[in-house]
Amino acid sequence: MNSYLFLAGAIIAEVIATSLLKLSDGFSRPLPTVLMLGLYGVAFFLLSLTLRTMPTGIVYAVWSGAGIVLISVINRIWLKQYLDGPAIVGMVLIVLGVAIINLFSRTAGH
């Protein structure tokens, strides 16, 4: 299976788990807590499969960059948390950095 599919699955599982972390209310709500822990497990398992064929630095750059942007979008939509201009510019730079890595880096596993 393509490493990028494993990585995408890991990112999605981690983003959902992080969203559930907020809903767990400090681990005081059992259902979101159990789901969160399970999804973090899935995320790290898929991440470990990705690392079989891709360099750790590249994987982590994509994982963290995508996670930051997706969590921010989710927080904007569901929790009505707004970002100011500098935060948005910073995230655009993160996305550009991940795009540059994937388009031009020979170490990205292409």
Domain assignments of the chain as residue spans, ordered by start: 3-108
For residues 80 and 38, what is the distance between their CA atoms, to the nearest angstrom? 26
Amino acid at residue number 59: V
Tokens matching residue 2: 């393509």
Q: How far is CA 9 from the centre of its chain?
A: 9
Confidence of residue 1 (pLDDT cuts 50, 70, 90): low
- Taking 90 as the threshold, does the pLDDT of residue 103 lie above it? no
Q: What is the mean pLDDT of residues 101-109?
A: 76
Per-residue pLDDT tens for 70-88? 999 888 898 888 889 999 9
Quick one: 42 exposed, middle or buried, by C-beta within 10 A (0-12, 13-18, 19+)?
Answer: middle
For residues 62 and 21, what is the distance between their CA atoms, to the nearest angstrom? 21
Per-residue pLDDT tens for 3-60? 999 999 999 999 999 989 888 999 999 999 999 999 999 999 999 999 999 999 889 8
